[in-house]
Amino acid sequence: MSAALHQEAGSTLELSGIQAGYGDFQALFGVSLRVEPGEAVGVVGPNGAGKTTLLRAISGLIRPRAGTLRYGGQDLTAVPPHMLPGMGIAHVPENRRLFPHLTVEENLKVGAFTKAARARFEQRREHVFELFPRMKQRRHQLAGTMSGGEQQMCAIGRALMSGPRILLLDEPSAGLAPLVVQQVFELVRRIRQEGLTVLIVEQNVAQVLRVVDRAYVLETGRVAAEGRSAELAADPAIRRSYLGGH
Amino acid sequence: MDPFFLEALVNGILLGGVFALPALGLNLVFGVVDVVWLCYAELVMVGMYAVWFLHTQAGWPLWLAFAACLPVVALLGLLLHLLVVRPLLNSPPINQVLATGGVLFVLQGAATLVFSTEFRSLGVDMPPMEVGEVFVSGTKLAAFVAALTGAGILWAFLKFTYVGTAIRAIARDREVMPLMGVDPQRIYLIASAVGGALAGLAACLLVVQLDVHPFVGLSFGPITFMICVMGGLGNMLGGFLAAFLMGLIISVGGFWGTTEFSYVVAFAFFILVMFLRPKGLFAR
Amino acid sequence: MTGTFLGALVLAALAAVPLLSPPDYLMHLLITALLTALAGTGWAMMGRFGLVSFGHGAFLGVAAYTMALLWNEAGLTPWLGIPIGMAVAVAAGVLLGYPAFRLRVVGHYFALVTLAAGEIVRILIVALREHTGGSLGMTPAKAPDGGAFLAMQFDKAGFWWIALLAWAGGLVAWRMLDRSMSSKALAAIAEDEDAAASIGIRVTAEKLKVTVISVALAALAGALTAQYRQYLNPESLAGLGISLQIVFGAIAGGMYVPFGPTIGALITIGLEEGLRIFFGTELTGAAPLVYGLLLVLFMLYLPRGIAGLFERRAKRSPAAKPAPVTA
């Protein structure tokens, strides 16, 4: 079943000394990070720490000014961004960015645009419907008319349609009600169990630390701390800053 | 009902069908590439010359000339994108529009040089048909059917293919497309070629109804732009409906007054619509 | 002050041109260039603030036909006919501009609304063929003996002076606008209309002001052109073709400096004549081909026009960058 969803065995995603920004504004000051195949890694930190910029740099929406960015030994900065889904890297962007005027199924279809993905469209769609039965009910509904949680599921489903080995998730819990946040993280956990590598960027530190193996704490564009989830969750400084004290 | 008035209504709908194709093409290109092709009617003009030349000068059968016209104009659309639009994608919109306006002059000038300003007629006509009390020109009816068929094929392409779905998606959110594995530049090229092919199809339908000359684009170009804007730039369904509305206004206006009067009414209606609904009649 | 003095000196020198008794053909080209420059200057008054009109040809036509019809059918001298024609054109411009600005018709939409308006005028001229001669055009009635002055029917020298004065008037209007607060307000509007409105700039009023000036200059150019040629036809005084030619001239010369449109007029006239001389009349089609090509090349490689070559970076006024247009 999981073979239907994604290709076997991923590669290591490795960032080192990444600097990036927009115009005169620099958001990342030498970030280094590593995601091993099958791992789930979180990047947490306050608003404006550069989390979204980090993901955008990985998927080539902005180009780093310095540093190296490799996936399985291949230099990603030399790859045009639209080639990444074909290499097994899928990115669920901030604010989901669904196509609101297309139906759920059409959104999935756009997600399966690459040649290799088209061949397995129906198989993967069924798998996405299995993961998110709600999507099956709403397959002919316009994506823009769904609730925030449903839209997030649709966005994740759309990313899964390309058959990724690693999934980049940008703030999947943003703007969702607490109960829905729980559901979304539950889904992330299930996707993980199927063997998918996950890199997730979140402000909701408490929740994300329960899902990931390791995490990096990003502050004003620099890695301020890193470690296993349990260690970070126990770290008094982290607890004070991100987990509401105690 | 007065049969002549009924005839005006029927003719208006038929005329709308012919306007609909270039409106669809223009909207498709605008929706995807975000650039107004000011020379769109001149692409149609080139297509009309292509059919005329292949049929009357080179002696090709008409259907073959029609079949050749589509890829010729599609290629022209591709070249327009590659040579003029693509280098200007990051320029202010007005520079883009003016550059395509330059192409308008280039095509007019080239047509004048090659074919002179003489009016060229294809010289084919189909007998009028009588439907109930109404006489309908066979050529116009055939053109209408062909236009609807073309629009139908376009709709199916946009609705059912991967590329078509991506085209509809890109019109809303350009930046996110690479994350879907879509190369926007490639989609721009495809949209430009399809936009050109639609101009080619429009040329086939117009060349049987109008004489060709280098400035023939000016006779239907402006109204095509107005139709697109009225329907909401980039909104293909809106443009499609607006084409019929304009066709009816012109035809019925011509029934009550002169043809010129009907065009004045149509254009004034357009300006009024712009004032009342600045983003188009069917803006969401 | 030295600027004003220098300007007056140049004007005086130009005014003396007919005294050198240049060939008629040269005078003809110079007069045509001045009037084209005036139309381009008028267009650029709006264009440089992001108000791109594809219908300015219509304002030429409204003024020219008003003037000519008043002369032919009511015997009213063009000396009065021209200001009346200008007033009618300005009224038409305001009639179109006020709702357009008020209702925020901007960018592509504004350009296409003006295109429609231009077409309406062209078609109206054709439709009113009983009076205007339709697409065949019309000629102003010949002046009775001794009435040449009243009929404004002069020789080349006379028209040179009139055209020169009108052209200089256009430049003065440009300069006055640049020195006023309006130019700063308009630059702010071109940059970001909402932001401009939020700091108290009266967007509609400012846009209307510049529209009035722009239309008045174009209208004057149209009336004088018709009067000089003693011939009017809808294609050369209204419609998309002439409108785009005006735009081309202004763009080619450069619409961000006062002399830009004048340079552009010299280019367009020079080009047209040059092509005619070198290729003969049977290749008239080559003229649009060449300047269409130039327009494309200008957009690709020199979007600020010829004048852009001479601008120094530091001297660029805030208005002097291509205005962003939202659609």
What tens digit of pLDDT does each residue of B26-41 get? 999 998 998 989 999 9
**Dist. CA A121–CA A53, nearest whole Å:** 30
- Domain boundaries, position B60: 16-217
The amino acid occupying position B47 is G
C297 has pLDDT over 60? yes
Tell me if B180 is assigned to some domain: yes
Q: Do chains B and C touch (3 or more CB pairs under 8 A)?
A: yes
Q: Is the separation of the CB atoms in C115 and B267 below 8 Å? A: no
- Identify the residue whose tokens are 């703007």: A175
C321 has pLDDT over 80? no
How high is the ipTM of this complex? 0.88
Beta bridge partners of A43: A201, A216
The enclosing H or E element of B127 equals none
Q: What is the pLDDT of residue C314?
A: 39
Q: What is the pLDDT of residue B271?
A: 84
Tell me if B265 is assigned to some domain: no
Q: Is C50–B94 a contact, with Cβ atoms under 8 angstroms apart?
A: yes
Q: Which residue of A has its CA nearest to B183?
A: A82
Query: In the structure, what pLDDT confidence band is assigned to residue C313 with cuts at 50, 70 and 90?
Result: very low
Tens-place pLDDT, residues B219-228: 888 889 889 8
Phi–psi pair at A68, nearest 5 degrees: -115, 150
Angle at C130 between CA C124 and CA C132, to 5 degrees: 55
C316 has pLDDT over 50? no
Q: What is the pLDDT of residue A195?
A: 87
Strands A40-44 and A214-219: parallel
Beta bridge partners of A168: A91, A199
Tens-place pLDDT, residues C27-78: 999 999 999 999 999 999 999 998 999 999 999 999 999 999 999 999 899 9
Q: What's the rounded mean pLDDT across residues A43-53?
A: 89
**Dist. CA C313–CA C322, nearest whole Å:** 14
Tens-place pLDDT, residues A58-108: 999 999 999 999 998 889 998 999 999 999 999 999 888 999 999 999 999
Tell me if B278 is assigned to some domain: no
**Dist. CA C88–CA C222, nearest whole Å:** 13
Structure tokens at A17: 């000394």
Tell me if B273 is assigned to some domain: no
B274 has pLDDT over 70? yes
**Measured in Å, how far apart are chain C's first and last C-alpha atoms?**
42
Q: What's the rounded mean pLDDT across residues B151-163?
A: 95
Structure tokens at A185: 């993280």
**Dist. CA C255–CA C308, nearest whole Å:** 9
Across the interface, which of B162, B172, B181 has its CB nearest the CB of A85? B181
**Dist. CA A199–CA A174, nearest whole Å:** 16
Q: What's the rounded mean pLDDT across residues A150-171?
A: 93
- Domain boundaries, position A63: 2-242
R_g (Cα) of chain A, nearest Å: 17
Query: In the structure, what pLDDT confidence band is assigned to residue C327 with cuts at 50, 70 and 90?
Result: very low
Pairs from B63-70 (Cβ < 8 Å, separation ≥ 24) = B66/B204, B69/B200, B69/B201, B69/B203, B69/B204, B70/B197, B70/B200, B70/B201, B70/B204
Q: Of B138-147, B228-237, C176-185, give the lowest mean pLDDT range.
A: B228-237
Q: Do chains B and A touch (3 or more CB pairs under 8 A)?
A: yes
Query: In the structure, what pLDDT confidence band is assigned to residue B2 with cuts at 50, 70 and 90?
Result: confident
In chain B, the number of structural domains is 1
Q: Of A127-131, C283-287, C292-296, give the lowest mean pLDDT range.
A: C283-287
- From the candidates A76, A109, A142, which should be mutated to test the interface with B, based on the most B CB atoms within 10 A? A109
Across the interface, which of C241, C296, C327 has its CB nearest the CB of B233? C327
Closest CA to C163 of C55, C41, C65: C41
Q: What is the pTM of this model?
A: 0.86
Structure tokens at C166: 């009108």
Subunits adjacent to chain C (3 or more Cβ pairs under 8 Å): B
Q: What's the rounded mean pLDDT across residues B204-217?
A: 92
Task: Identify the DSSP state of A29.
Answer: E
Tens-place pLDDT, residues C26-39: 899 999 999 999 99
Using the Cα atoms of residue B108, residue B112, residue B117 and residue B118 in order, give the sign of their dihedral.
negative
**Dist. CA C41–CA C171, nearest whole Å:** 8
- From the candidates B267, B272, B279, which should be mutated to test the interface with C, based on the most C CB atoms within 10 A? B267
**Dist. CA C7–CA C260, nearest whole Å:** 16
**Dist. CA A73–CA A10, nearest whole Å:** 12
Tell me if B90 is assigned to some domain: yes
Q: Of A2-16, B169-183, C263-277, give the lowest mean pLDDT range.
A: A2-16
- Identify the residue whose tokens are 């086939």: B204
The amino acid occupying position C310 is F
- Identify the residue whose tokens are 């996707």: A191
In chain A, the number of structural domains is 1
Q: Is C109–B278 a contact, with Cβ atoms under 8 angstroms apart?
A: yes
Residues 6+ apart with CB under 8 A from C21: none
Tell me if B231 is assigned to some domain: no
Q: What is the pLDDT of residue C168?
A: 94
**Dist. CA C322–CA C327, nearest whole Å:** 15
Task: Identify the DSSP state of C231.
Answer: -
The amino acid occupying position B203 is A
Average pLDDT, chain B: 90
**Dist. CA C311–CA C73, nearest whole Å:** 49
Pairs from C271-278 (Cβ < 8 Å, separation ≥ 24) = C273/C29
Highest mean pLDDT among A67-81, B224-238, C94-108: A67-81
B246 has pLDDT over 80? yes
Q: Is the separation of the CB atoms in A130 and A137 below 8 Å? A: no
B132 has pLDDT over 80? no
Does residue A113 sit at the B interface (CB-CB below 8 Å)?
yes
Highest mean pLDDT among A58-72, B252-266, C11-25: A58-72
Angle at A154 between CA A153 and CA A159, to 5 degrees: 100
Q: What is the pLDDT of residue B219?
A: 85
Counts of helices then strands in chain B (DSSP H, E) = 10, 2
Beta bridge partners of A25: A22
Q: Is B280 left (phi over 0), alpha (psi -120 to 50) or beta?
A: left
Q: What's the rounded mean pLDDT across residues C120-149?
A: 87
Task: Identify the DSSP state of C138.
Answer: B
Secondary structure class of C311 (helix, strand, coil): coil
Does residue A100 sit at the B interface (CB-CB below 8 Å)?
yes
Residues 6+ apart with CB under 8 A from C194: none
Q: Is B179–A61 a contact, with Cβ atoms under 8 angstroms apart?
A: yes
Closest CA to A233 of A16, A44, A12: A44
Q: Of A5-9, A173-177, B132-136, give the lowest mean pLDDT range.
A: A5-9
Strands A66-71 and A13-22: antiparallel
